[in-house]
Every structure is written in C-alpha cells, then in structure tokens.
C-alpha cells in the first residue's frame, strides 16, 4: 500500500504506447467535431462549457481533455504519468488546441497549482486509483472557485466489488465495497490496444457511494446531479458483458437491470 504510487505510475506509464494505438485517436483528425465516447456519453448531463476554465485531473492521454476543449472550455490537464501528459500535449498541439499540463500526483495538486478553476472534470476509471476519497474531495474543492462544479463519472463501487464469476455464470461479490483495503492485481494486457504491459501490477481502492457523497458534502459541495448507469466504457467481466451498438460501452448480457455499472455526479462548490 505504501508504494501504491510507484506501482501505479509504472503501470500507467506502460499503458500509454498501447493506448495511443487503441484509443481511436485518428477520429479527432478525421472529424473536427469528434469528441471521445466518454465525454459524448455524458453530454446530456454536462453543463455548457463555453468560455469556462477547467482542469481535468487524471487526464491520461488527453482524449477526453481535448473533447472538453472542443466543447468550448480552456483546459489544464493533470496526471502523474509524464508519458501520458506528453501524449496529451502532442494531441492538442496537432489539433491546433491550447492545453496547459501539470505533472503531479492528485494529492500534491495544492503544492503545484495556485489558480482556481470554473470546473474540475474527472473521467471514468480515476477515483479507483486513489486511497482516500475525502482527501480527493478536499483537493477538488481547493481547485475550484466558489460556485464552480466538479463533474465526474466513475465505475460503480458495486461493479468494483465483483470478482470472477462462478462456474454457472452467477456474479460473485468478492471484493470490498467500502473504502479501506488496497487491492493488488496484475493483468498483462490493457483495455485498449494490443500487446503486453511492461508493468502489469496495479493497486486499486473502492469507495462506497455514501463515502463519495459524504466527502463532497464535508468539503463544501451540493450534489446537483446523480445518475447510475447499466453500462461502463470497457469490458469489466469478459463473457458476462456485451458491447452496445454505436458506442464503446458494455453492459451485462443477461438482465442488465441487475447491476449499476457506473455513475455520474455533478456537484457544485458552495459560496462561503
Ligand atoms: C483510466 S485513465 C483516465 C480516464 C480517462 N477516461 C481516459 O480513459 O483517458 C486513469 C489516469 O489516472 C492517472 N492516475 C492514476 N493515479 C493517479 C494519481 N495518484 N495522481 C495523478 N494521476 C493518476 C493515470 O496516469 C491515468 O492516466
């Protein structure tokens, strides 16, 4: 657990070259209106971004970040993976878009950033790499102007608690739902792109929904939107999930109403 940052950084660095092949980046160049599936999924819920200044924390290779720029925002990208940030900057530059970058761990953002933003965006598959959700909400609050908002989608804590299915196909709750334990896993491949990772080990953390909401309330936020979804933008359980038509989203093959696989939140920072 103490070395989770080092283990996870190596893992995420090693995913970058594979994701650069697997994230369908060419689509941004083929269509000047193209935005990533992750951002497109949440378009009906996302406030108007024109002329707002945002920071995308855990921005990865920048596909969601440049999508937010295409929706009218000025953006800063923050990530602890230097290769990911270099790729994000290169993507933005090649598309003719301005992008500031900050290279640091989420929990060090206060030491690196003095500026305040209109919104914080966090795309799916981000909170699960952070051990302490309250500390995350405190950083997000620090980064925002009063009246600013945080918008995020995350894998549902119920989904993260499911382990390997039983031989008869039943879903098996095996892992913690509540925050606390670090979960070490190792997978040689990644969810986008071909090839093997140089650093397959990764450490993740679950955060129950009440833990997320209480962290937001305690750090000065009001919840304006909360939605649970049946789908998630990767295949989390191989044969149990099926890809939806027309978008990179997967849901349970059999009775998808059984499981909330992801959720979206919009929370606004209160005025003092
Ligand atoms: C799944 S990606 C971000 C999701 C985004 N939807 C995407 O697919 O592009 C997760 C990102 O979190 C970053 N990350 C993980 N732990 C971090 C930490 N403690 N501080 C900053 N970045 C972190 C990784 O480097 C990676 O780029």
Closest listed residue to residue 127, CA positions, set 204, 68, 180, 199: 204
What is the pairing mode between strands 144-155 and 117-122? parallel
What is the total residue count of the chain?
272
Ligand 1 close to Cβ of residue 65 (< 6 A): no
127 pocket-lining for ligand 1 (C-beta < 6 Å) = no
**CATH number, domain at 92?**
3.40.50.150
Nearest to 226 by CA among 167, 158, 151, 165: 151
- State how far the Cα of 17 lies from the Cα of 197, in Å rounded to an integer: 10
Number of domains in the chain: 1
Contact 218, 134 (CB under 8 A): yes
pLDDT in the model for residue 168: 76
Our answer on whether the CB atom of 38 is closer than 6 Å to any ligand 1 atom is yes
Q: What is the pLDDT of residue 78?
A: 98
Query: What is the CA angle 228-253-176, rounded to 5?
Result: 55
265 by Cβ neighbours in 10 Å (0-12 / 13-18 / 19+) ranks as: buried
pLDDT lower than 70: segments of the chain:
none
Beta bridge partners of 184: 203
Angstrom CA distances, 224 to 48, 136, 217, 267, stand at: 15, 19, 12, 5
What pLDDT was estimated at residue 171? 87
CB of residue 126 inside a 6 A radius of ligand 1: yes
pLDDT of residue 237: 87
CB 81 less than 6 A from any atom of ligand 1: yes
Pocket probe for ligand 1: among 28, 68, 79, the residue whose CB has the most ligand atoms within 8 Å is 79
Q: Is 241 exposed, middle or buried (0-12, 13-18, 19+ CB in 10 A)?
A: buried
CA distance 235 to 252: 9
Structural domain of residue 76, as residue ranges? 4-269
Side by side, the strands of the sheet bearing 144-155 are 100-103, 74-79, 53-57, 117-122, 144-155, 262-269, 221-229
Residue 114: CB atoms within 10 A of its CB come to 6
DSSP annotation of 213 reads H
């Amino acid at each position: 657990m103490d070395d989770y940052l080092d283990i996870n950084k190596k893992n995420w660095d090693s995913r970058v070259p594979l994701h650069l092949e697997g994230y369908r980046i060419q689509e941004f160049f083929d269509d000047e209106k193209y935005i990533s599936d992750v951002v497109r999924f949440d378009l009906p819920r996302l406030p108007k971004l024109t002329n707002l200044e945002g920071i995308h924390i855990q921005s990865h290779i920048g596909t969601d970040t440049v999508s937010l720029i295409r929706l009218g925002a000025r953006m800063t990208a923050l990530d602890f993976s230097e290769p990911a940030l270099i790729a994000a900057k290169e993507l933005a530059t090649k598309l003719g878009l301005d992008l500031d970058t900050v290279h640091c761990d989420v929990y060090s953002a206060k030491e690196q950033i003095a500026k305040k933003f209109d919104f914080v965006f966090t795309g799916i598959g981000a909170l699960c790499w952070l051990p302490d959700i309250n500390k995350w909400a405190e950083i997000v609050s620090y980064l925002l102007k009063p009246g600013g908002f945080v918008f995020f989608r995350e894998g549902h804590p119920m989904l993260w608690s499911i382990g390997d299915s039983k031989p008869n196909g039943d879903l098996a709750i095996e892992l913690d739902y509540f925050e606390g334990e670090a979960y070490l896993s190792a997978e040689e491949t990644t969810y986008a792109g071909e090839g093997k990772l140089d650093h397959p080990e990764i450490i993740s953390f679950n955060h129950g929904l009440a833990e997320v909401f209480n962290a937001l309330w305690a750090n000065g936020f009001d919840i304006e939107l909360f939605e649970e979804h049946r789908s998630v933008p990767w295949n989390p359980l191989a044969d149990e999930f099926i890809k939806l038509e027309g978008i990179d989203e997967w849901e349970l093959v059999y009775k998808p109403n059984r499981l909330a696989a992801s959720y979206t939140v919009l929370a606004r920072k209160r005025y003092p």
